[in-house]
Amino acid sequence: MNHLKAFLYEDDGVGVVEIILILVVLISLVLIFKKQLTSLVKNIFTKIVSESNNV
């Protein structure tokens, strides 16, 4: 039981600042490559629909 409490109160984990920085980087990458990502997702869904019609 003491090990569980020690684990819950441990401060060695990832901080809030690091999580916010990671989210900012991910969001900026999505915004930069929005056109390519949209095209990729459209192609994937088109292929899924066409393959499901063959089954």
Residue 29, both tokens = 């990458």
Give the side-chain half-sphere CA count within 13 A for 10: 10
Task: Yes or no: say if 26 and 19 are a contact pair by the CB < 8 Å rule.
Answer: no
Which pLDDT score, from 0 to 100, does residue 35 have? 94
Q: What is the mean pLDDT of residues 11-20?
A: 75
Number of domains in the chain: 1
Say if 29 falls within a structural domain.
Answer: yes
Look up the domain containing 49 and give its range.
Answer: 14-54
* Full-model pTM: 0.52
Question: With bands split at pLDDT 50, 70 and 90, how would you rate the model's confidence at 4?
Answer: confident
Is 17 a residue whose pLDDT tops 70? yes
pLDDT tens-digit readout, 18-48: 888 999 999 999 999 999 999 999 999 999 9
Say if 43 falls within a structural domain.
Answer: yes
Say if 5 falls within a structural domain.
Answer: no
Say if 3 falls within a structural domain.
Answer: no
